[in-house]
Structure 1
Amino acid sequence: MSGSISRWRLLSLAGACLAVLLFASPGYAQGVVQGNVVDANNQPVEGALVTIASKDSSRKFQLKTDKKGEFFQIGVPSGAYTVTVEKDKLKASRDTQARQGSPARLSLVLAPGAGLSEEDKAKTNALQKLIEEASAAVKAGDHQTAIAKYTEVAAGIPTCADCYDTIGRSQMSLKNYAEAEAAFKKAIELKPDHADAYNGLANVYNAQKKFDLAAQASAKATELGGAGAAAGGGSADSLYNQGVIAWNAGKAEEARGHFEAALKADPNHAPAHYQLGMALVNGGKLAEARAEFEAYLKLAPTGQYADQAKSILGAIPK
């Protein structure tokens, strides 16, 4: 009788926790600093040297912007950093904070001080200040201000796809789904290979239970992120998103496959460990589920699902 009660309690806990999946936002890749660099005429700057230097240690990363003026650095430990871009004796810098599960996005203007009119200098300085204010609003969770500020930045830098991507995420946080969808689509229009914007679009559709559209957007994000799920490649976040979408659509085995693929792409993707554990509980594979919940708690002891993971571990027989 006690075994039946324990099994019932475990399934009840799992059911309660799985309901959260409808509303939980999937985590982003850990330790990412990315952004774009434009010149005084709002044109992308290719080949600029980007230095991401820790404020707390001697650690630094260096890379160059691509032909679209963009840069993307993974594997950045959490902490405070100064990002500096340089080219042709021009330099610009911004401070940022790298956080696990929250990519830092920056837009920098690389423009000469000499050779510009006082009016142009004022415009460049005002735009840089606006970018800093917009970024600060995002970090503070002030989404209304972030939307307003990034809308102004986008007016000054019409090619800023990341501006619209960030607007979309703030609109999503406010549950303004129509506005979020429009912003993500604008980001994709400006940058057709913007995997993050496709992920955002997938989240919008998932939140509205438009699972077919969500699956299409997430699959595109995975395609842009790498070799794709079938090859075990692609962005761990994109694969994770596909798992969430499949689960919400009632496709438990398919969801499990996506969570496993996400962990193959990034073994330290904590939310994927948790959701794989839930899928394994659903399939009655409790010993395997225990290992996933333990892995989650090791990676994210105070994470979003920590309390649920501990409760379920307490109900799984050893």
Structure 2
Amino acid sequence: MQEPTDVKYYPSDEPVRLGLEHYNRGSYGLSQRYFKDAVEKSPKDVTAWIGLAASYDKLRRFDLADQAYAQAIRLGGETVQILNDQGYSYMLRGNLNAARRKFEKAYSLDPGNPVIANNLELLNGSRRFIERPPNNQP
């Protein structure tokens, strides 16, 4: 039986699959290892770079996450997914202004996206929660 000619195999396919599997299980250390392996095998795999960045976010290695997002943007441009993920990254860091800018840019590209709308709502809730009266007066 002959393989279809339009299906391509990339060396990063298996590590990306395993990275996603571990990420979805909450095993971010393992997902980071698999995504790192994927980008080493296929440096132009945007999905692998995004997965690596998201894994670094969960591990609170924001310096490395920023580098991985930058590489994903160099390869594939500022996509809705990358902008949304960067917004979430900034939200994790407590940089709510930067998070809002990323979410709003993503939302402008895809206004019907429920994930982005939910993240904006979450961000708005976070803002209300942490606002304090001036001079810490009750």
Q: Same fold judged by TM-score > 0.5?
A: yes
Q: Deviation per CA, 1:95-135, whole angstroms, max 9, x where unpaired?
A: xxxxxxxxxxxx947xxxxxxxxxxxxxxxxxxxxxxxxxx
Residue 102 (structure 2) aligned to one of 247, 258, 270? 258
Paired residues in the alignment total: 128
* CA 202–266 in structure 1, closer or farther in 2 if over 3 Å, else same: same
Partner of 2:68: 217
5 Å-filtered alignment, 1:1-318, equals: 92=4, 108=7, 159-226=10-77, 234-283=78-127
The amino acid that maps onto 1:206 is D
The amino acid that maps onto 2:76 is G
Alignment partners' CA distance in 1, 2:27 and 2:82: 22
* CA 266–223 in structure 1, closer or farther in 2 if over 3 Å, else same: farther
The amino acid that maps onto 2:103 is F
TM-score in terms of structure 1 length: 0.36
Per-residue deviation, 1:189: 1.7
Alignment partners' CA distance in 1, 2:112 and 2:71: 23
Task: Please provide the CA RMSD for this pair.
Answer: 2.7
Per-residue deviation, 1:198: 1.2
Alignment partners' CA distance in 2, 1:160 and 1:239: 26
Q: Which has the larger share of strand? A: 1
Q: Deviation per CA, 1:228-247, whole angstroms, max 9, x where unpaired?
A: xxxxxx21111111001101
Q: Secondary structure at the match of 2:112?
A: coil
The amino acid that maps onto 2:108 is K
* CA 222–270 in structure 1, closer or farther in 2 if over 3 Å, else same: farther
Alignment partners' CA distance in 2, 1:236 and 1:208: 23
Query: Radius of gyration: which is bigger?
Result: 1
Q: Deviation per CA, 1:241-265, whole angstroms, max 9, x where unpaired?
A: 1001101101000000000111123
The amino acid that maps onto 1:175 is G
Q: What stretches of structure 1 of length at least 5 have no aligned partner?
A: 1-89, 94-106, 110-156, 227-233, 285-318
Q: Secondary structure at the match of 1:92?
A: coil
Q: Secondary structure at the match of 2:107?
A: helix
Contact 1:236-1:269 within 8 A present in 2 as well: no
* CA 167–277 in structure 1, closer or farther in 2 if over 3 Å, else same: same
* CA 263–170 in structure 1, closer or farther in 2 if over 3 Å, else same: same
The amino acid that maps onto 1:164 is P
Q: What stretches of structure 2 of length at least 5 have no aligned partner?
A: 129-138
Per-residue deviation, 1:91: 6.0
The amino acid that maps onto 1:241 is D
Alignment partners' CA distance in 1, 2:126 and 2:20: 31
Compare 205-214 and 275-284 and name the one that shifted more.
275-284
Q: Secondary structure at the match of 2:4?
A: strand
Per-residue deviation, 1:178: 3.2
* CA 257–174 in structure 1, closer or farther in 2 if over 3 Å, else same: same
Per-residue deviation, 1:194: 1.3
The amino acid that maps onto 2:4 is A
Alignment partners' CA distance in 2, 1:279 and 1:223: 27
Partner of 1:114: none
Q: Deviation per CA, 1:119-165, whole angstroms, max 9, x where unpaired?
A: xxxxxxxxxxxxxxxxxxxxxxxxxxxxxxxxxxxxxx7x4212211
Contact 2:29-2:59 within 8 A present in 1 as well: no
